[in-house]
Structure 1
Amino acid sequence: MRFVAMKLHTRDQAKEGEKEVKEPQERPVAKWEPTVEGYLKFLVDSKLVYDTLERIFRNTGLERSERLTKDLEWFKEQGYTIPEPSEPGLTYARCLEELSEKDPQAFICHFYNVYFAHSAGGRMIGRKVAEMLLDKKELEFYKWDGDLSQLLQNVREKLNKVAEGWTREEKNHCLEETEKSFKYSGDILRLILS
């Protein structure tokens, strides 16, 4: 799955990237100017997505919901108003619920991409936002209990076991869902700039 995911990046994003920029929202942001309000929207919508994933798959070692709850509480203590989930998060959460019931291969693809992207590029984005807006405060969302590499490897092994019994068509179907996963996640990520 990583191979397919990396190909969907542009060359600017990853050396393995092959994606051609076609839509305006796919272009790199000319000037990265996050806002606290936009970041809060991103965190709230991300929490909704993680809540959904973690209701379906439990005890993976990669859980983020509880940590996001702590981060949102911290923002509240700082005097910020926590927004309600917005359309990108609501849409993605509904999609994940539906896929978990009707299309397990597609759901696994989304699960993989959400968690593994957060563990890589998501942490980098979190550091940038922390530097620009939060006086370098590292949020709980970007911390794990234990060795992250090992946690990811454990999940990767479990996902590979699940996929062992899949036909070639089912495996291909899982991989084909990667682009949709990127679109939904990108819609939520762009909230940082709103």
Structure 2
Amino acid sequence: MVVISATAAAEKHKKRYPGEAKGFVEEMRFVAMKLHTRDQAKEGEKEPEGQPVAKWDPTIEGYLKFLVDSKYVYETLEKIVEVASFPEYAEFRNTGLERSECLAKDLEWFRQQGHIIPEPSSPGVTYARHLEELSEKDPQAFLCHFYNTYFAHSAGGRMIGRKVAEKILDGKELEFYKWDGDLSQLLQNVRDKLNNVAQNWTREEKDHCLEETEKSFKFSGSILRLILS
């Protein structure tokens, strides 16, 4: 009877956390996918807000705001893992996913085309401040943002970049959307590191990390919407 109860409890445990058998990153991915709209991902559950990307009418000025604020956030992420308030952050240095140098090159290209580069605005500055505060006291929540920021850019971010380039840049591909080496392997390396770090977390800490996903979407969404400003 005890064996049956233990088995039943184990089954219930597995059903409660989709993706758990593949590692914690798969749990993170599952939660993130549910926060997409149905036209963005087949697992999406959110109702769409505003027009789909294909119908956006971006401007150079708005896109520059987006790139500047994105650079500010990526610089903050890179600085946090370099300083490493918690030892596990050091695992995420020099992953090959870093974006700030690429964005610096892109902004310099725009400058050479005669465009005025704006200062970072409220969405980027606010998000960077939130990341700094989390990183010093809440590593699980911080790594949720770390994961979602880098992995979202490698997927949906690339698609958005391509659509914007088609509309306002004559199809030019920015450095922001290029990686040195095999991107799929770079992403897998970071998945492995995140899974290894999460092995030392309690279930409560893992749940806390997952609960931060919605906040990461709100912050990143506010920066993304700068494209239309």
TM-score higher than 0.5 here? yes
| TM-score, scaled relative to structure 2 | 0.81
- Residue 19 of structure 1 aligns to a residue in which SS? coil
Match of 1:189 in 2: 224
1:29 offset after TM fit, Å? 4.7
Q: What amino acid does structure 2 have at the position aligned with 1:107?
A: F
- Residue 145 of structure 1 aligns to a residue in which SS? coil
- In structure 2, what is the Cα distance between the partners aligned to 1:104 and 1:137? 37
- In structure 1, what is the Cα distance between the partners aligned to 2:202 and 2:148? 21
| TM-score, scaled relative to structure 1 | 0.95
Alignment length (residue pairs): 190
Q: Structure 1: state its 5+ residue gaps.
A: none
- In structure 2, what is the Cα distance between the partners aligned to 1:69 and 1:164? 36
Per mean C-alpha deviation after superposition, the further-off stretch among 116-125 and 27-36 is 27-36
- In structure 2, what is the Cα distance between the partners aligned to 1:166 and 1:16? 26
Match of 2:42 among 15, 39, 44: 15
Match of 1:49 among 73, 93, 116: 73
Deviations 1:120-175 (A, max 9, x none): 00000000111101111100000000000000000010011111000000000000
- In structure 1, what is the Cα distance between the partners aligned to 2:133 and 2:195? 22
1:27 offset after TM fit, Å? 3.4
Match of 2:172 among 137, 162, 168: 137
Q: How is 1:22-37 mapped onto 2 (pairs within 5 angstroms)?
A: 26-29=49-52, 31-37=55-61
- In structure 2, what is the Cα distance between the partners aligned to 1:28 and 1:5? 20
- Residue 93 of structure 1 aligns to a residue in which SS? helix
Q: What amino acid does structure 2 have at the position aligned with 1:147?
A: D
- In structure 2, what is the Cα distance between the partners aligned to 1:116 and 1:74? 25
Please state if 1:103 is matched with 2:138: yes
1:20 offset after TM fit, Å? 3.7
Per mean C-alpha deviation after superposition, the further-off stretch among 135-144 and 54-63 is 54-63
- In structure 2, what is the Cα distance between the partners aligned to 1:52 and 1:11? 31
Q: Percent identical across equivalent pairs?
A: 83
Match of 2:121 among 45, 62, 86: 86
Q: Structure 2: state its 5+ residue gaps.
A: 1-27, 82-92
- In structure 2, what is the Cα distance between the partners aligned to 1:100 and 1:186? 20
- Residue 11 of structure 1 aligns to a residue in which SS? coil
Q: RMSD across aligned C-alpha pairs, in angstroms?
A: 1.1
Match of 1:5 in 2: 32
Q: Which has the larger radius of gyration?
A: 2
1:19 offset after TM fit, Å? 1.9
